[in-house]
Structure 1
Amino acid sequence: MKRPATALLALLLVAPLSFAVSPDVALARSVTTAHLEGVLPDGSAYVIDVPANWNGTVLLYSHGYLPDGVPNPARNAPSDDVRTSLLAAGYAQVGSSYPETGWVVEQALPAQLSALDEFRARFGTARRTIAWGTSMGGMITTGLAERYSQGFDGTVTMCGLEQGAVANWNNSLDTMFAIRTLLAPGSTAPLVRLPDQATALASTVELTTALDAAQATAQGRARIALAAALRNIPAWTNPAQPEPDANDHDTAQRNQFEVLREFLKTGLSWRQEAEEHAGGNMSWNTGADYDRMFAHSAIRQEVEELYARSGLSLRDDLAALASAPRVTADPTAVGYMSRNISFTGRLTMPMVSIHTTGDPLVPVQVEHAYDEAVSDASRSRLLRQAYVHRAGHCTFTAGEMLAAVRTLEGRISTGRWPDTRPATLNRLAAESDPGVTHGYLTYRPAPYPRPFDLPR
């Protein structure tokens, strides 16, 4: 559905941002709307859009993960609707494709900086530069914030992997490990050190077969829920379906089963591709305390209820996880993923981070991990996190995304955070995107199961 841009434009014309305009910006404003596409020296495609009424702000957009073999055009906005609304409001937008698909964080950061350089070469230095991105692009945006802060005035991360790369792959391993241990005992299907896609596919088929068989029994469904709990897969995962009642554990478990089935379908394939970049296995579960992780899980009550009904012993299954042979990591691969990329929390500019509460791919608890890193670095004054009550990964309305941008701009303009309570964010979203239900709410995510912060 197309999102109307008229309200957003009117609002920003009524309350324009106040800043001095450089000669380069003034020149850019005098030209008609520009749409430019090209290729960067690293082979990345880039795309730039500059409106005739450029307001002096440029938004650098980082897109999410694309598996190997899929089309990889340059993107400079989360959606066509958002791009259109922002152009109407006077925002310039730029982004690249990155030089490759897959886990290309190492190449993506310099590609994005090069795309921004291309913009500056064509249109001059913007008065204000904001980085923003979705999913893996949120991780890339956070990387730009922590490592290249001199080039930006602020950042907006949306549904990002804010737990960092090492924590992401560790927790993915936890889930695979639980599925193999509990649903396919005795299986030797490799979970790491996957030499090729054929090996990844063979493991996927074996584990999916076990998952499907388990779903047919009460005992299997309880164990599937336990595997989901180690990843905090939410009860409501599909925005096209109604949210289950709080005590409807059967619907919640069925939703989590479907997510885990897709997780198996893609997880090992993506891991194999990432291991090629890292030069080995970047994950470990030596020392992982699955009892403790379960105790802090957001869906603990569901699991306990399903185990009580199944007749199985939850204590025995947790003991089985504790005693199963563990997986060790390759230090060089861990080092690669630490560089590409894990976080220190040392922000030097304001950041707004938004996440849906029912995200099945990047569970909302990743925000807790980054909040802890920022707090440990004594930079909490620079971070504001907001949550949208909706299922799905990156399923924000255009208005919700634009409200995050406007909130960040208020902080940049005044040096103080504006009101970031849900009612205010929903009002901003409605002003930008009327006629649509917006879902900001008060929310505090549970701890992330396996946080990993770089030494500070």
Structure 2
Amino acid sequence: MKPGPHSAITTTPRVLAAAAATLCLSVSAGSAQESGETKQVTGVFDDGQEWQISVPQDWNGIVINDLDSVGNVEDGTMRATFFLNNGYAYTGTRRHPDRNTNWDPKAESDNMVRVLDQFEEQFGEPEHAIQFGCSGGGSVGLSVAEDHPDRFDGVISMHASTPVELANMRLDLAISLKALLDPEGDLNPIIADGDQAAAREAWQTALNEAAETPEGRARMALATAIAQYPVWGSQGSPEADLPDWNDPESLQDAMVRVATDGALRSVTGRPMWDNPAGLMSWTTDIDYHAFYANASEQQRDLVASMYEKAGLDPETDIAADIDKVNAWPRVDATAEGIDYYRARTHTGKIGIPVLHISNIGDGGTPATVMAGYVAKIAREGTEDLYRQAFINASGHCTFNEAELAAATAAMVKRLETGEWADLDPEAMNALGASAGEARFVALDGDHGFRLPEQFNRAFFRDSEVPNL
């Protein structure tokens, strides 16, 4: 095999070293086994993005490509060990070094093909090539399904979003909290790169203070409902327990937690959206009363109960507080910022099967944003290629091995049979049972989440933006 440009090929035992640590790759959950050798090729593309290819000796003919595979192999994450121990070649990149200041979703998508080029040059054409990813990696997966259906066969996209839609959801939350909790203060919903640490500290302090009062808690809950955030969840802590649906205090605590985690992520993640070309979010012409009406009935009932507990009138005071949000100075996007992402936004015009998955308790990238992609899929008429599944857990990218096994098995079945198998929660949980306990759940209204019929921030390439 001839190494490609800027690459190095090594042969390593199935026990991969990550820095000074040693990672035992197990064939199944709970067991450790060293069997055969894993060939690994590494390199750097001419744009500075690192890539790697790991192929187990007992390769099953399927490639799993991942935006985050370099770090996963180095760190010995569950994701890397699962794929390699079960015979999949695991390939992909590390996120681009200037991603926080010069994020280019199209370039990331194109580099996924370059990794596959390297693989085919050195190991031959795979039986199936599946793009996998979570968060930014999940978003790249959606891009691959639209940009490169001729090279990849399927996509497993977890906790993915479309930039303009998610950035606008986050702006709705931050603006609502600013208007309701800190109208005369110094909190800033939109910050520059380098200000993240100071902004996090200031917002954390203000949110903690608000959470100490019934009035503050009620208004935090209102802001989450306006922005279509979930009733419960967190940004990165799987320890956030599911609330007790029979305990109003537990539910109220959950909504406060979502407002806190969501706001911190909304503000500190802001520079990445705006750095490439300018401000790409707006509140111009938004009616936040209409946005609140699109919240679930369950969530609006919870907000009303929190207002009542605070000694406020649920009808008049909620309406008055939404008036305050509507009266807050409007934010205008820049034409340059919108045009940059307009050319790079998802369209829903997929050419290969896509399995789109999220935790329902993700407080940073709410699963609600998936409704925006559903709208794109419906517009393009690609519903037959698209399926969704939901995990009853909190946190961002906190899926477990059983859920990873189920998602992979479901996609492989789709590629081998040409038809989607049963993807209801019971079937998905059964697919993952050999690797542990999967937590797939139906959106039946009993778990504090629904995919809204009307997504507040749907955006298409031909969408008009006010004041541009």
TM value normalised by structure 2 = 0.82
- Percent identity, aligned pairs only, is 28
> How much does 1:76 deviate?
6.1
> How much does 1:175 deviate?
0.7
> How much does 1:3 deviate?
9.3
Q: Secondary structure at the match of 2:90?
A: strand
Q: Secondary structure at the match of 1:439?
A: coil
Query: 1:303-452 maps to which residues of 2 (within 5 A)?
Result: 303-312=303-312, 313-340=317-344, 342-431=345-434, 433=435, 436-443=436-443, 445-447=450-452, 448-452=455-459
Q: Tell whether 2:212 aligns with 1:216.
A: yes
Q: Any stretches of 5+ residues in structure 2 without a counterpart?
A: 1-22, 445-449, 464-468
Q: Which residue of 2 aligns with 1:18?
A: none
Q: Secondary structure at the match of 1:314?
A: helix
Return closer, same or farther for 1:422/1:113 CA change in 2, 3 Å cut-off.
same
Q: Which residue of 2 aligns with 1:156?
A: 156
Q: After superposition, what is the alpha-carbon deviation per residue over 1:16-36, rounded to whole angstroms, capped at 9, x for unaligned?
A: xxxxxxxxxxxxxxx953122
Q: Which residue of 1 aligns with 2:460?
A: 453
| C-alpha separation in 2, matches of 1:236 and 1:125 | 42
Q: Tell whether 2:136 aligns with 1:136.
A: yes
Q: After superposition, what is the alpha-carbon deviation per residue over 1:174-197, rounded to whole angstroms, capped at 9, x for unaligned?
A: 0110111011113464433x4442
| C-alpha separation in 1, matches of 2:439 and 2:355 | 16
| C-alpha separation in 2, matches of 1:184 and 1:249 | 26
Q: Secondary structure at the match of 1:213?
A: helix
Q: Which residue of 2 aligns with 1:276?
A: 275
Match of 1:184 among 182, 185, 189: 182
- Whether the 8 Å contact between 1:297 and 1:449 is mirrored in structure 2 is no
Q: Secondary structure at the match of 1:130?
A: strand
Q: Which residue of 1 aligns with 2:120?
A: 120
- Whether the 8 Å contact between 1:135 and 1:159 is mirrored in structure 2 is yes
Q: Tell whether 2:256 aligns with 1:257.
A: yes
Q: Any stretches of 5+ residues in structure 1 without a counterpart?
A: 10-30, 65-72
> How much does 1:172 deviate?
0.9
Q: After superposition, what is the alpha-carbon deviation per residue over 1:392-444, rounded to whole angstroms, capped at 9, x for unaligned?
A: 2122111211211111111111211112121111111012x0xx321112226
Q: After superposition, what is the alpha-carbon deviation per residue over 1:203-255, rounded to whole angstroms, capped at 9, x for unaligned?
A: 55544443232222111111011112224133244532432122434333333
| C-alpha separation in 2, matches of 1:82 and 1:106 | 24
Return closer, same or farther for 1:88/1:203 CA change in 2, 3 Å cut-off.
closer
> How much does 1:202 deviate?
5.2
- Whether the 8 Å contact between 1:290 and 1:321 is mirrored in structure 2 is yes
Q: Specify the code of the residue in structure 1 equivalent to 2:223.
A: A
Return closer, same or farther for 1:446/1:144 CA change in 2, 3 Å cut-off.
same
Q: Which residue of 1 aligns with 2:8?
A: none
| C-alpha separation in 2, matches of 1:337 and 1:190 | 23
Return closer, same or farther for 1:202/1:4 CA change in 2, 3 Å cut-off.
closer
TM value normalised by structure 1 = 0.84
